[in-house]
Structure 1
Amino acid sequence: MTGYTHDAGITRRGWLGAAAATTAGLALPGNAFARALAPSDKVNVAVIGAGGMGASNMNRLVGQNIVALADPDLAHVAESFVDGEGAAIADRAALKAAYDRADKHADYRRMFDARKDIDAVVIATPDHHHAVAAKMAMERGIHVYVQKPLTYTVREGRVLLDLARRNPKLVTQMGNQGHSGDDGRRVVEIIRGGAIGRVREVQVWTNRPVWPQGVARPAAQAKPASLEWDVWRGPAAVDWGYHPDYAHFNWRGWLPFGVGALGDMGAHLIDFPVWALQPGLPTRIETRHSAWGGDTNPWDDQGPDELTSYPLASTTYYDFANAPGGPLRMTWFDAGLMPPTPRGLPPGVTMSAEGGVLYIGDRGMLMHNTYGEKPVLIGDGAAERAAAVPQSLPRIAGGLAGHELNWIRAIKGEEAASSPFEVAVPLNETMILGMVALRAGQPIDYDGAAGRVTNVDDANRFLDRTYRPGWEL
């Protein structure tokens, strides 16, 4: 795959060479700790980040053996089983029972030290932990399901892909469940089948962020007694102190912890044009945005190291000069910004304010919602041409809701994983490059084969990050 080699010395600091060196010698002789699994076996599953999204993921895996969980706030995990009125959530009773039986840890590093029976782990932490936890698991021969965005930086994605390639028995999956949906797979078939002709432009939009962003850093507060703040902070090389605008849900908009709206929803929305059109990595990226959040006047010319929260709204332009069908432009809108309404929408059809994708071809258009759902053909004859396109992609049992169990079946050798790192890493890199352009403050030209920004040397530092001692990648 173009742009994913093991060449060394590809930036001024040689970070990809270091990534390859880090994983050299780690080709594991199969899974050193997990059992050889037959289709009838249950998988020993652990979870890191057991509340929130982690609980949603794990609720689909209650038929397996949930043996351990790691979370720095077990009181918050307990809240995953009750509604806003404090009443038990009926369809989570089995998960609660499984969690009650599971071995519990605040720190996943200690969990990995203590448990040698883990076959697979779900990682549903804030973004800044994803790669560290995933690499630690993979080095122990543990299959991984990692929530999106797969990683916080470009280098981290390449490190994980290198590990996955060196250890092909490890089953990997990113948590972009739309990749398993029937509608999304049909979208890919229709686009590839030529129903709307050659696609030169794609427009993508989302209503995110729905969390604090574009604001200054708040003053630290006393942390809840149940929260192990030092563990929650993990790899982040800043110590701002606790605030509820960081933990537990609101971390996405803060630079040390999250990757903003693009990192949150890009894995769902950008997935389908990247999958259908196979454009390779972007060659030029530019982000226009509202004011950064900072500790001084947000319109001041602050350096990127002084910034605290991402801008409230942004538009990112991706150019793919090497797309096989010819140059492609993809535009990302967030914070409720949207492209113009396309002419010719069928009666009663509107653009979803939550998010969607519009493909503009030379024979028509196709529009769908966030997870590839509800595709609509626009233009004379487009629907008829789409109906004639045969099914060519396998369907995943359960569709969107079957993404986790697809990973389990892949671990047992029954089918292929829907969104393995071979697929997920270039998608994730495309997303994260939007954040690199945002932090660079100017258009960047990107050499995907070398993995470096070629026109703004200083921007290459945003392909990597600094880790707090004890939490290095």
Structure 2
Amino acid sequence: MAEHSIRPFVAKGRTTDRREHFMTDTRTSLTRRDWMRGAAATAGLLAAPGQASARRIAPSDRVNVAIIGAGGMGAQNMTKLTGENIVAVADVDFGYVAKAFVDDKGLARPERQLLKQAYDRAAKFADYRRMLDSRKDIDAVVIATPDHHHAIAAKTAMEHGLHVYVQKPLTYTVREGRKLLDLARRNPKLVTQMGNQGHSGDDGRRVVELIRGGVIGRVREVHAWTNRPVWPQGEARPAAVPKPAALDWDLWLGPAAVDWGYNPDYAHFNWRGWVPFGIGSLGDMGAHLIDFPVWALEPGLPTRIETRHSRWGGDADIWDGKPPADLGSYPLANITTYQFGHAKGGPITMTWYDGGLMPPTPAAMPATARMNPDGGVLYIGERGMLMHDTYGEKPVLVGEGTAARAAAVPVSLARVQGGREGHEMNWIRAIRGEEAISSPFAVAVPLNETMILGMVAMRADQPIEYDGAAGQITNLADANRFLDREYREGWAL
């Protein structure tokens, strides 16, 4: 079998009919009726009861934006939005936020100085709930907190009539995602976006077109992998140490129902691997990698999920094969197998690998088509294979005749202005009515739910069978508790 690069076939065209974009680009893994309701709600095409009020913003207007979680990824997002009015900033540690404007040597980063000036002018808050209650000039909110805050911050903002951009994973639990989707449907004028920027990329959209166009034939098997975690995981919980003076640790804990003292292994970047605060590598990279098979193949929600993994973080001397009662960090590596029994084109198996694990190389794969150890996706079809890197980039076709078939597949998905780097501004342009939204909650919630179910299977410690319509695990009643979580007093969703 021959290998062919498909990059020459990545078209830059743009569709002109917005209705066509929604028909081809925002399908979800729910039923068709649910999808139509969700897409229409996101597009602002249906009236809904209990609609939150949002200011009408013309194409010539600048959007008044607030940020929750202003350092780290939040600063990356907001650097793209300095052309708007950044009116308010909420963060629990402005000492950490200040580090976003300098490099490792303490020198000013030129590309961040406009953002620094905007932050300097903006109103400052430690508690985002107070910001949302007190500031009446906000139109839209970017949420870039640790995972355990996402749903509460997004729900609160939307109930105030604000458009929301929420970093991935969209939520910490399945129940939270479904609540946000319901809220989006009931408030159709609010523009929602998840921060899986690859969804706006040209390469990824071409991948979807080629898979749907039958270039590699019917796909029954998908493999996705990542080099994450690159943070502490598979480790015992460390002892508490004095927190930085600028950090409000109580607010950082927020809804997490644990009484853990501060340790730098949790905050600021390292929280992803700790069970009360993040959902591990699947939460971090699943939104970028699983996105494309879910989008292209329309498999619906998984019907069976099983996770095999290394040891949970804890004391190895007392390990008994089950997660410790007081869960600390996630296992260092896992392999999760998803069965999609109701996929549009027939059953599909998708396998996820993290912790540096990778799938075996198919016998038909040429030596020149090596898997990227940092991350990627491999689709195995009846007439060939397609492989791409994280974010859908650098797609490569393998198989005789695949290049010719790819050349014949027309552009059917609208291209987002700026591609992957334009994901944040796509949200702004959608708020102004200039461009269809890329990854609204109608798209993001089923993807997010698929990711989270891998973590649910890990915690259940055995395969789970899932009824997506009911949102219930059917073979292990006790595991349904992992679809939800306990909240600390004062932070209920």
User: TM-score normalised to the size of structure 2?
Assistant: 0.90
Q: Look up the match of 1:14.
A: none
SS of residue matched to 1:458: helix
Q: Are positions 1:379 and 2:399 aligned together?
A: yes
Structure 1 residue identity aligned to 2:412: S
Whole-angstrom CA distance in 2 between matches of 1:68 and 1:308: 34
Q: CA deviation at 1:198?
A: 0.2
SS at match of 1:338: coil
Could you report, residue by residue, the CA deviation over 1:146-190 in whole angstroms, capped at 9, with x for unpaired residues? Answer: 000000000000000000000110000000000000000000000
C-alpha displacement at 1:401, in angstroms? 0.3
Aligned to 1:284: 304
**Contact 1:66/1:98, CA 8 A, preserved across alignment:** yes
Partner secondary structure for residue 328 of structure 2 = strand
State how far apart, in whole Å, the 2-side matches of 1:99 and 1:452 are. Answer: 44
- What are the equivalent positions in structure 2 for 1:426-441 lying under 5 Å apart? 426-441=446-461
Distance 1:144 1:350 in 2: 39
Distance 1:6 1:393, change over 3 A: closer
Asked if 2 retains the 8 angstrom alpha-carbon contact of 1:294 and 1:306, the reply is no
Amino acid aligned to 2:231: W
Choose which of 207, 212, 216 in structure 1 pairs with 2:227: 207
2:156 matched to 1:143? no
Report how far residue 348 of structure 1 moved: 3.5
Deviations 1:277-304 (A, max 9, x none): 0000000000000000125636324455
Question: CA 1:225–1:318 in 2, change beyond 3 Å: closer, same or farther?
Answer: same
- Alignment of 1:226 onto 2:246: yes
User: Is 1:320 matched up with 2:352?
Assistant: no
| Contact kept? 1:149, 1:428, Cα under 8 Å | yes
Aligned residue for 1:198? 218
Match of 2:95 among 75, 82, 104: 75
Matching residue within 371, 383, 400 for 1:363:
383
Distance 1:27 1:93 in 2: 43
The answer to whether the 8 A contact 1:28-1:141 is kept is no
Report what 1:460 is aligned to: 480
Paired with 2:176 and 2:318, the residues of 1 have a C-alpha distance of 30
SS in 2 for 1:204: strand
For residue 70 of structure 1, what is the amino acid of its counterpart?
A: A
1:4 to 1:158, Cα distance in 2 relative to 1, 3 A: farther
Alignment of 1:218-367 (within 5 A): 218-295=238-315, 297=317, 299-303=319-323, 305-346=325-366, 348-367=368-387
Q: 2-side partners of 1:56 and 1:224: how far apart?
A: 23
Q: 2:423 aligns with which of 403, 406, 415?
A: 403
| Distance in 1 of aligned mates of 2:491 and 2:65 | 23
Which deviations, in whole Å up to 9, do the C-alpha atoms of 1:350-394 show, x marking residues without a partner? 210100000000000000000000000001111211121111000
Is this contact kept in 2: 1:134–1:146, CA < 8 A?
yes
Q: 1:436-455 alignment to 2 at 5 Å?
A: 436-455=456-475
* 142, 145, 156: which one aligns with 1:125: 145
Q: How far apart are the structure 2 equivalents of 1:80 and 1:123? A: 16
Q: Does 1:389 align with 2:409?
A: yes
Q: Determine if contact 2:227/2:356 at 8 Å carries over to the other structure.
A: yes
Q: Is the 8 A contact 1:284 1:446 kept in 2?
A: yes
Counterpart Cα distance in 2 of 1:189 and 1:2: 17
Q: From the superposition, tell whether residues 435 and 95 of structure 1 become closer, same or farther in structure 2 (CA, over 3 Å).
A: same
Does the 8 A contact of 1:54 with 1:122 survive in 2?
A: yes
Length-normalised TM-score, structure 1:
0.93
Q: How big is the shift at 1:276? A: 0.0
Partner residue of 2:12? none
Paired position in structure 2 for 1:152: 172
- The secondary structure found in structure 1 opposite 2:335 is strand
**Letter aligned with residue 326 of structure 1:** G
1: CA distance between counterparts of 2:140 and 2:325? 37
In the aligned structure 2, how far is the partner of 1:99 from the partner of 1:434? Answer: 38
CA offsets, 1:197-224, max 9 Å, x none?
A: 0000000000000000001000000000
Contact residue 67 and residue 141 of structure 2 kept, 8 A: yes
Instruction: Give the secondary structure class of the aligned counterpart of 1:196.
Output: coil
Q: CA deviation at 1:196?
A: 0.2
> Within 5 A, what are the aligned runs for 1:46-61?
46-61=66-81
Percent identity among equivalent residues? 74
Question: Which secondary structure state, in structure 1, belongs to the residue aligned with residue 391 of structure 2?
Answer: coil
- Partner SS state of residue 489, structure 2: coil
The number of aligned residues is 453
Question: What amino acid is aligned across from residue 180 of structure 2 in structure 1?
Answer: L
**Separation in 2, partners of 1:372, 1:2:** 19
Letter of the 1:403 partner, please give it: H
Q: Which residue of 2 aligns with 1:85?
A: 105
Do the aligned residues in 1 keep the contact of 2:307 with 2:336 (CA within 8 Å)?
A: yes
CA distance in 1, matches of 2:163, 2:52: 11
Q: What is the rounded CA distance, in whole Å, between the counterparts of 2:463 and 2:421 in structure 1?
A: 38
The reply on whether 1:114 has 2:134 as its aligned counterpart is yes
1:346 & 1:161 partners in 2: Cα distance? 43
Partner SS for 2:263: coil
**Alpha-carbon RMSD:** 1.6
Q: 1:184 to 1:208 in 2, by over 3 A?
A: same
Q: Structure 1: any 5+ residue segments left out of the alignment?
A: 8-25
Query: What residue in structure 1 maps to residue 25 of structure 2?
Result: none
Q: Which amino acid aligns with 2:430?
A: A
SS of residue matched to 1:424 = helix
